[in-house]
Amino acid sequence: MKLKEIEKILGAEIITGAELREKNIEMACGSDLMSDVLSFMKSESLLLTGLTNLQVVRTAEMSDLAAVCFVRGKKPDREIIEMAESKNIPLMTTPLPMFESCGRLYQEGLSGCSEYKR
Amino acid sequence: MPSDSRISKVQELIYEIRVGEVMKTDPVTVTPQMPMSQLREILREKRISGTPVVKGDTLAGIISIEDFIKWLADREPDCPISEKMSKDVQTLYADEPLTQAVNKFEQYGFGRFPVIDRESQKLRGIITKGAIVEGLLRKLEIDHIEEEQVYRRRIKHFFEDILADRVSLFFRYEVAGQDFKRAGEGASRLKSSLRRLGLDPQIIRRVAIATYEAEMNLIIYTKGGRIRVRVEPQEIVVRVEDSGPGIPDVEKAMQPGYSTAPEWVRELGFGAGMGLTNIRKCASRMGLHSAVGKGTTLNIHIVVENGVTRGTEGIDSAA
């Protein structure tokens, strides 16, 4: 699924990395616990999270994540956006809460990290 | 690269590149006998605004959309193209440098110039401003990619180029305790460096995640410490050291979910007692030694099965 399709399904706004709209997202995961993200998320996946701190971008960087989407309309600070920009990690924000964001994407056929087979 | 050196690169290129390299070959042509009324279809269909008129192999003239509009406006009867074309055609030779073409575009203000062969005087192609821009961009891109490849090749063969019984690279990163703003900077810099060495992306990922977790531990629980990394063709060892407070019960600390982290750490998405478990998962081998009041040393070994220099070619370009 392309990033621009996710943008549409979630009614999301791309905060940074709009030029990467064509990027392919293979799977997704929703978590506020960065240790869990580091532990079981696979590379090239989308992280949905309610956290908006620098550690989210750092975690995305370390795990080679494809993009990060903040749920419930949260927006990160300038500093966080700048770091994501420098690491080429697209950030977006959706007004939907976590459960609904995950549900809609899953319904549209995006896999979870545990069931995805390369 | 600063922008002024890019400009001089373009200047260099317009002397270096020949007209023949950027011209469009096999251009659409018309014959002198073709009636003017047919020209419209050709210009429209091929989306061009002018075309050389060719008799046999030789250039007889050039006809443009302006000539066609003039003919329409004058409401003259249909006639062969040869009566309306410009016969005094400005041309370029295929072996001339691009700078000649640029000068001619400036001098005459035409949209296109036919390109002919210096010896046979036959039409070889057509050049437009668009073709020049495209040609320059292509060349700049190729040069840039080549530069980058040379750089990557050089650094990738770093280990092979050094003659020794054992080759190791050492990196060291200092980590300040409680400094959440800079948390992960060490792991990030290490990750970029390993990428430049051309290691397998999955190996890099394991090293980066393990180092990041260990760095978070230094920041959360200690007054700071250092990360030392030894990269060898067959193994990467990350040693994380601090000078206290130390872990009273190492066995307990290793249990998944066991945590002594304060609430503010949990709010940042850490401190759930998964750090050491994650590190162990990423490592081929791990050693944790701690003495209360003295400090903790964590050794993370990651074995590179194929050897460092044989890492996959597909290093992703993301920084």
Nearest to A28 by CA among A43, A44, A9, A46: A46
**Alpha-helical runs (H) found in A10-97:** 34-40, 54-62, 78-86
CA distance A1 to chain B (A): 20
Domain limits for position B232: 157-310
**Size of the A and B interface in Cβ pairs below 8 Å:** 76
- Please check whether residue A118 lies inside any domain of the structure: no
Beta strands A111-112; B169-176: pairing state:
unpaired
Residue pair B53/B85 in contact by the 8 Å Cβ criterion: yes
Shared domain for B16 and B70, answered yes or no, is yes
Residue in B closest to A39 by C-alpha: B278
- CB contacts of A87 in chain B (<8 Å) are 318-319
Output the six-digit token pair for B16: 């270096």
Sheet holding B295-303, edge to edge: B169-176, B224-231, B235-242, B295-303, B285-291
Angle at B50 (CA atoms; ends B49, B56), nearest 5 degrees: 150
* Position B313 pLDDT exceeds 50: no
Shared domain for B93 and B183, answered yes or no, is no
Residue pair B312/B295 in contact by the 8 Å Cβ criterion: no
pLDDT at B4: 58
More confident residue, B61 or B3: B61
* Position B1 pLDDT exceeds 60: no
Phi, psi of B286 (to 5 degrees): -145, 140
Shared domain for B16 and B129, answered yes or no, is yes
Residue B37 belongs to a domain with what CATH number? 3.10.580.10
In this complex, which of A36, A37, A87 lies closest to B319 when CB atoms are compared? A87
Examine the fold and report which residue of B102, B137, B172 is the final residue of a domain before the chain moves on: B137
* Position B318 pLDDT exceeds 60: no
Shared domain for B49 and B173, answered yes or no, is no
pLDDT at B3: 53
Shared domain for B47 and B179, answered yes or no, is no
Count the domains in chain A. Answer: 1
* Position A64 pLDDT exceeds 90: yes
Residue A99 belongs to a domain with what CATH number? 3.40.1390.20
- Please check whether residue B126 lies inside any domain of the structure: yes
Shared domain for B53 and B9, answered yes or no, is yes
CB contact under 8 A, A63 and B205: yes
- Please check whether residue B144 lies inside any domain of the structure: no
- The tens digit of pLDDT for each residue in B64-81 reads 888 899 998 988 888 999
Shared domain for B161 and B117, answered yes or no, is no
Shared domain for B163 and B196, answered yes or no, is yes
> For chain B, what percentages of helix, strand and coil (3-state, to nearest 5) are there?
45, 25, 35
Residue pair B114/B52 in contact by the 8 Å Cβ criterion: yes
pLDDT at B310: 38
Indicate the average pLDDT of chain B: 86
Shared domain for B268 and B195, answered yes or no, is yes
CA distance A47 to chain B (A): 13
- Please check whether residue A52 lies inside any domain of the structure: yes
pLDDT at B192: 92
Output the six-digit token pair for B250: 């190492």
- Please check whether residue B143 lies inside any domain of the structure: no
CB contact under 8 A, B268 and A88: no
- Please check whether residue A66 lies inside any domain of the structure: yes
Which range among B49-53, B141-145, B191-195, B258-262 shows the weakest confidence by mean pLDDT?
A: B141-145
CB contact under 8 A, A33 and B184: no
Q: Give bridge partners of residue B126 from the DSSP assignment.
A: B24, B114
Buried b (16+ CB within 10 A) or exposed e, B93-105: bbebebebbeebb
Residue B176 belongs to a domain with what CATH number? 3.30.565.10
- Please check whether residue A116 lies inside any domain of the structure: no
Say yes or no: B316 contacts chain A, CB-CB below 8 A.
Answer: yes
Name A31's Cβ contacts closer than 8 Å, sequence gap at least 6: A37, A41, A47, A48, A49
